[in-house]
Chains A and B, each alone.
Chain A
Amino acid sequence: MTESAAVEVRNASVALGGRPVLRGIDLTVAPGDFVALMGANGSGKSTLVRAMVGLRPVIGGEVRLFGTPLDEYDAWSRIGYVPQRATAGSGVPASVWEVVAAGRLTRRRLLRPLSRADRAAIEDALEVVGLVDRRRDAVTNLSGGQQQRVLIARALAGEPELFFLDEPTAGVDLPNQQVLADTLARLKERGATIVLVAHELGPLAPLVDRAVVLRDGRVAYDGSALQDHEVHQPWFAEPHTHHHHHERPPSVSAPVGRDDQLPGGRR
């Protein structure tokens, strides 16, 4: 029996406010894969991640997680999501520990107190992001990068096997990026599947098996890992402005975009 893909997106389109933001996306992520989702601002990376976790309805097409269509999917404890967000605050103070503990809800039953395993998982997650000694502090009193680490810890606390990380390292300093990279490497060894959105891979670069580049809501490249700067090569980022044939860099094996390779494209 073949193992079903961790994520399968087939011909998915997403419209926001009546405007198509994603068009005909096809993407399959095998279990254990580490996929980097890249592309310019506004190219639809966050929207794709949100569609994959069911936060944005897909028009036409289909999204499956572990072989189950999203509508019927209910094994949410297998999924960890780090949203792209600047702050983790709300109208009432919440401590770092409380926010991280919310990540454990996928595994808790109603009206039951925290089990020992729950506490241990929360503790481990805090440890990984290096915020153990700030656990009692209000999240709003942390810096932006520290808040980002709180959101990472929240996803780790649920001990998921499929991670959607939307720019988890934005604003996080290099040593802590390295810590996150080490953690993800360990999770990957244990068979975790990771879909990562990032503009700069930094210390995460060696982990990436595969890069997917979005441009204007379409998949412009899907293949082996790219260097950060290659993502912004003109044939990915600016389809209609270049006027020459470009030598393709050796690592770009299979660009999917078509009109972007025409010399003197429409403008």
Chain B
Amino acid sequence: MTPLELFGEQFMQRALIAALLTGLAAPAIGTFLVQRRLALMGDGIGHVAVTGVALGLATGASPLWTAVLVAALGAVLIEVIRERGQTNGDVALALLFYGGLAGGLFISGLAGQSAAALNRYLFGSLTTLSRSDIVVTTVLAVAVVGLCVGLAPQLFAVAQDQEFARVAGLRVRAYNLLVAVLAAVSVTVAMRTVGLLLVSALMVVPVATAQQLTRSFRTTIVAAMALGALASVGGLVTATFASYEVTVAPGPTIVLLALACYAVAWPIGIWSRHRARLREPFPSGQAAPQHGACDEHPHAHGPGCGHLAVPHDDHVDYVHDGHRHAVHGGHYDEH
């Protein structure tokens, strides 16, 4: 089968749609989780959702809906524990994580399920999506993205400074619960794409990547969604081509691709922050920079001399070992 034929297949098209939607929805809500420093919340919800999936498989109900339900309950519980006090918050969360995972494995054992059925949810199985799976996934993903973008100003304010948000009259608790439920929904949307065990990666890694290069919240969330979509679709395509030679699962490929983006962005981020610091203008209103001629200077600064050129008022400074040199007559001044 040629690649073109393969992408013409229905199951492949469904997989592409699911990958794209997941790639957009997971980082959208993930940005708010990272903003509150709850990067691992997606992971916790993912573990709890295992119980939901196992319940669905055992009772014959749709695992997607039981997972949404149980994950949302788990997310609300996590939120309540978090709100109630910091004292033993992370221990309580850990109990919930392990309880969710163990509960799921236990229930599926009781029901005599094969490991394969649960595995599809633990590690993702993009290519076995049914038509109704796609409809549900689309509806949920659109709801998550719509709410995240539409309520962004409110959600941003609540995550940025909870007390200020409350004094601004926002219903802080309602917004917190909304974020928890949206996180649960996007976990279940993503579970068929990358699997419950890797869900959190798609929520967090694109955000971490975007952050390397952005200075505002809006560009961060937009860039994270773009990167998430790129990694999901790219990962699926890569895995499909690679599968001609060896078996490659899309889920891990997607996550590895997202991590590769991070690995590329990280040094660029360091470099651009370094550059931004050097370009920092002198604070206005400050007294004129001291006029001190530097000592012996064998190097002639000029365009393309290798030192960063910084425009400074009416002349150009050259950044040189952490200080700035400006041409003045036959010598250089320290600026």
Contact = CB atoms under 8 A, between A and B. Distances in A.
A93 B211 contact: yes
A111 B161 contact: no
B272 interface: no
B163 A102 contact: no
B156 interface: yes
Contacts of B34: 91-92
B168 A76 contact: yes
A21 interface: no
Interface in A202-243: none
Nearest to B35: A92
B215 A95 contact: yes
Contacts of B221: 92
Interface residues of A, number: 35
| Among A92, A97, A99, A103, residue most surrounded by chain B Cβ atoms (within 10 Å) | A92
Contact of B168 (A99, A105, A111, A175): A105
Contacts of A98: 156, 216-218
Nearest to A175: B285
Interface residues of B, number: 34
Given A92-B31, A94-B217, A108 B153 contact: yes
Interface string B190-201: 000000000000
Interface in A62-114: 74, 76-77, 79, 81, 83, 88, 90-95, 97-99, 101-103, 105-106, 108, 110-111
Contact of B154 (A91, A110, A175): A110
Interface stretch (A30-38, A134-142, A182-190): A134-142
B153 A102 contact: yes
Contact of A93 (B159, B215, B285): B215
A79 B168 CA distance: 8
Nearest to B221: A92
Given A55-B163, A136-B216, A137-B215, A91 B36 contact: yes
B150 interface: yes
Given A88-B161, A95-B216, A55 B35 contact: no
B217 A93 contact: yes
| Among A95, A97, A98, A102, residue most surrounded by chain B Cβ atoms (within 10 Å) | A102
A194 to B, nearest CB: 15
Contacts of B214: 93
B170 interface: yes
Nearest to A81: B167
Main SS at interface, chain B = helix
A26 B310 CA distance: 58
A54 interface: yes
A94 B216 contact: yes
Contacts of A105: 153-154, 157, 165, 168-170
Nearest to B220: A92
B166 interface: yes
A137 B164 CA distance: 21
B168 A102 contact: yes
B164 A92 contact: no
B153 A76 contact: no
Interface string B4-19: 0000000000000000
| Among B154, B166, B215, residue most surrounded by chain A Cβ atoms (within 10 Å) | B215
Interface of A: 50, 53-55, 74, 76-77, 79, 81, 83, 88, 90-95, 97-99, 101-103, 105-106, 108, 110-111, 136-138, 141, 154, 158, 175
Given A90-B37, A94-B216, A136-B215, 15 more contacts: A50-B163, A74-B169, A76-B167, A88-B161, A90-B160, A91-B39, A93-B220, A97-B216, A98-B218, A101-B153, A103-B168, A105-B154, A105-B165, A138-B216, A158-B168
Q: Which 3 A-B pairs have the closest CB atoms?
A: A76-B169, A95-B216, A102-B157
30 contacts: A53-B167, A55-B166, A76-B167, A81-B164, A90-B36, A90-B37, A90-B161, A91-B36, A92-B35, A92-B217, A92-B221, A93-B214, A93-B215, A93-B216, A93-B217, A94-B216, A95-B215, A95-B218, A98-B216, A98-B217, A102-B153, A102-B161, A102-B168, A105-B153, A105-B169, A106-B168, A108-B153, A136-B216, A138-B215, A158-B168
